[in-house]
Amino acid sequence: MELNNPFDRALEVRRIPEPFRGAAVDVTDTVNLAKDAAEAVFGAKATPEHAIAIATLMLEAAGRIRQGTCNRPCCAPRADSDNP
C-alpha cells in the first residue's frame, strides 16, 4: 500500500470512533499483508481473491475467526476437517 492512499487520508479527515478505527486499521493491515503473501506465493498471477483467502486463513490461524462462520466458498468447512 502506498504511503499516500485514500484509507490513510480518510483516517486523518474522518472522526471514526473506536473500536471501528482500530478494527479498520487491523483489517486493512491484514489484507495488505495477505496481498504481499499472495504475491510471494503466486507472483504476477496473484489476485485480490488470493489475498482475501490468505487473510481469512491468517485470521483463522490467529484465532480471530472460526472456520465456517463466513458464507463465502473460500471459508466453508472442508469435508476432512475435524473442526465443528
Q: What is the pLDDT of residues 12-61, one digit of tens each?
A: 999 999 999 999 999 999 999 999 999 999 999 999 999 999 999 999 99
* Total structural domains within the chain: 1
Distances 83 to 12, 42, 64, 79, 80 between C-alpha atoms, Å? 41, 28, 15, 10, 9
In a domain, 27, yes or no: yes
Tell me the C-alpha distance between 35 and 5, whole Å.
16
Block residue for cell numbers 496481498: 35
In a domain, 80, yes or no: no
> Is residue 44 within 8 Å of residue 35, measured between CB atoms?
no
What's the whole-model pTM score?
0.71
Tell me the C-alpha distance between 82 and 51, whole Å.
25
Q: Which domain holds residue 54?
A: 6-75
In a domain, 25, yes or no: yes
In a domain, 84, yes or no: no
